[in-house]
Amino acid sequence: MNKFLLFGLLGFSLTCSRSSQPGEASDDAGGDNTGAAGTSGHVGTGGSGSGGAAGSAGTTGSAGTGGAAGSAGTTGTAGTGGATGRDSGVADGARPAVDAPVVAPTPTGASVVERNNHPSRDGLFVQPTLTRAKAAKMVPDAAFNPVFQGVMWASPLYLENGPGNKGAFFVATSQNRVYAFDETTGATAWMATIGNPPPANGVACGNIHPLGIISTPVIDASARTIYVAGAVGAQVIERHEIHALSVDDGKERPGWPVDVSKMTAGNLRFDPPSQNQRSALSLVNGILYVAYGGHVGDCGPYHGWVIAVDTKTPTKTGAWATGGAGEAIWAAGGMASDGNGVFAITGNNTARAVTHADSEEVVRLTGMATLDRSDANLYYPKSWLTMDQTDADFGSNNPVYVEVPGATPAGLVVATAKDGHMYFLDSKKLGGAGGHLVDFQVATTAMAIRTAPTAYATPKGVHVALTIDTKSTGCNGLAGSVVLSVLVAPGAPVKPSVAWCAPITGQASPITTTTDGQNESLVWYISGNKLLAVDGDTGQPVFGGGTGTCAGVIRWASPIAVKGRIIVGGAGRLCSWSSP
């Protein structure tokens, strides 16, 4: 392995509150803003994506399930197998070994098949040509003008070998439309619809109308299939469906769609009108995971749900639902994975029950969405009741999985709550009640943080960068919203500190590019309607936005990086920048 593996596998569930603004999901609700980018495998040198075979020495590693092939080099680490689940028939495999530090790089021009580029949700893109000098000269791609109907709450995805074996971007919208666009001209290769987007929810709350696809899909590049989830109905939400479309022509795969509305978990039955699907989809070892929350306003008998579908046999499904009212899983950034199922974070119990059920909780679900209720597989702060009562949703941000060299343990889940507490958890033993390794406070107000973080390595250590809505701690008096980076230096014990802060207008989410997995790090984000970039180690401005603008970028949205370009969804179109 390389020297600093930072790999993404955990899903910070976003939750918004009763006081949420228009276009925002409620606490425990799943209805706001951008979704996740498609899944490229988390790749080591010569290694494979999650679930893939090990690359042989000196050769290119084979692709993992839904993952990109590893680049040529030394023997790659085998991808992990999936956890055994009900009716899944998927064998449980070993988790990746923790070695010396190295960011697992995406090959140059590799496909982006899930939100934030890797199952860890690190939002890291290796772009060898995108140096700081090049980044300072970014300009809009004037000839690239893909347009679409509906609001794009999701992040775009990308395949190098899309329709006609040409590079293509994929977009899903609230009109239940899915598009494939030519990577050069932006011309539409195909457009498909998955059913009528309901003009109303059918319950007494919610503010996204019509409500079709508002999550980021996920692509299985080897199966040439894009999976999308959305609500369907003539007047109100009649059902929630999961679809599998060919990336070549948009046609539905045999055996699909899956009607989620018929799902049960124990004695609980899925209630279509009160449920909302905002969280980015995950694909781990052939199992598709789709999370659900509720609508802004917390009305109706909704719960947090995770639906699991065996993509080879879609009639094989499983489901887990939270034990208390509400407790939604709706983070735009989605769930994350370390190769063994997914990590999800829940939100508030809407009944404000005084006995803990599943609110304000990090869980690891394996196989067909099965939870082993041991301290190894769940965590919640002892302040959970106060968090419930003050709307300090744990699920307002998706988690990120990182590996810190020399730390004990090295594999960490970083989970940040809305009230500014960033919890560092042992990924192998989440810790049960109050069992965190470190509680590091980066903001001091109850509504401070709702975002999708990015994580990356530099010679200084591992950074976790995120946006903060209100005044943060450690920013030397910088007022207003900021992008803040927390640095974890190599070694034990885990000792986070604020590395830098940079101003932002709005609530978009950041991503990171490096030229080789560690050097020339740049943190990119939309501020107002401008694309900005700052130095990943210092936070100093590198690109100030130039003359290009992109209106209508939804809050918590993240761009993607492809072949030296930065692409993000705006109002009815994709916006793209590159260096001349």
Q: Is the pLDDT of residue 24 over 60?
A: no
- 78 or 188, greater pLDDT: 188
- 391 or 235, greater pLDDT: 235
d(CA 104, CA 121): 13
| Predicted confidence band of residue 521 (pLDDT cuts 50, 70, 90) | very high
Tens-place pLDDT, residues 193-214: 999 999 999 999 999 999 999 9
- 546 or 76, greater pLDDT: 546
Consecutive H or E run containing 542: strand 541-543
| Predicted confidence band of residue 106 (pLDDT cuts 50, 70, 90) | very low
**Residue 126's closest CA among 59, 41, 65?**
41
DSSP at 112: B
Q: What's this model's pTM, rounded to 2 decimal places?
A: 0.83
**The pLDDT of residue 445:** 79
**The pLDDT of residue 108:** 41
| Predicted confidence band of residue 470 (pLDDT cuts 50, 70, 90) | confident
* Residue 318, CA distances (Å) to 13, 187, 262, 287, 510 in order: 19, 39, 11, 10, 33
Regarding beta strands 496-503 and 511-514, do their DSSP bridges make them parallel or antiparallel, or are they unpaired? unpaired
**The pLDDT of residue 84:** 32
Mean pLDDT of 367-381: 97
| Predicted confidence band of residue 478 (pLDDT cuts 50, 70, 90) | confident
Q: For the chain, what's the residue count? A: 580
DSSP at 135: H
**The pLDDT of residue 8:** 35
Tens-place pLDDT, residues 283-300: 999 999 999 999 999 999
Order of strands across the sheet with 282-284? 282-284, 287-292, 305-310, 317-321
Mean pLDDT, the chain, integer: 84
User: Which residues have CB under 8 Å from 461's CB, separation 6+?
Assistant: 404, 487, 488, 489, 490
Mean pLDDT of 242-268: 97
Q: Is the pLDDT of residue 93 over 70?
A: no
Mean pLDDT of 369-396: 95
- Residues in a beta bridge with 186: none
**The pLDDT of residue 109:** 52
* Residue 200, CA distances (Å) to 174, 197, 228, 291, 379 in order: 12, 9, 20, 21, 36
Q: Is the pLDDT of residue 110 over 70?
A: yes
Tens-place pLDDT, residues 528-572: 999 999 999 999 999 999 989 999 999 899 999 999 999 999 999
Residue 497 tokens read as 């500190």
Residue 278 tokens read as 């905002």
Mean pLDDT of 100-107: 33
Q: Is the pLDDT of residue 246 over 90?
A: yes
Q: Is the pLDDT of residue 441 over 50?
A: yes
- 487 or 471, greater pLDDT: 487
- Residues in a beta bridge with 142: none
**The pLDDT of residue 479:** 77
Tens-place pLDDT, residues 174-185: 999 999 999 999
One-letter amino acid identity for 248? D
**The pLDDT of residue 28:** 37
Q: Is the pLDDT of residue 73 over 50?
A: no
**The pLDDT of residue 424:** 97
Q: Is the pLDDT of residue 85 over 60?
A: no
| Predicted confidence band of residue 475 (pLDDT cuts 50, 70, 90) | confident
Q: What are phi and psi of 532, to 5 degrees?
A: -120, 155
- Helix, strand or coil for residue 164? helix
d(CA 259, CA 264): 12
Task: Burial-class residue 345 by CB neighbours within 10 Å (0-12, 13-18, 19+).
Answer: buried
Residue 280 tokens read as 């980015």
Residue 367 tokens read as 């196989």
Q: Percentage of residues in the chain with pLDDT exceeding 90?
A: 74
Q: Is the pLDDT of residue 125 over 70?
A: yes
CATH architecture assigned to 124-578? 8 Propeller (2.140)
- Helix, strand or coil for residue 396? helix
Question: Tokens 């009108």 belong to which residue?
Answer: 273
Break the chain into its structural domains and give their ranges. 124-578
**The pLDDT of residue 526:** 97
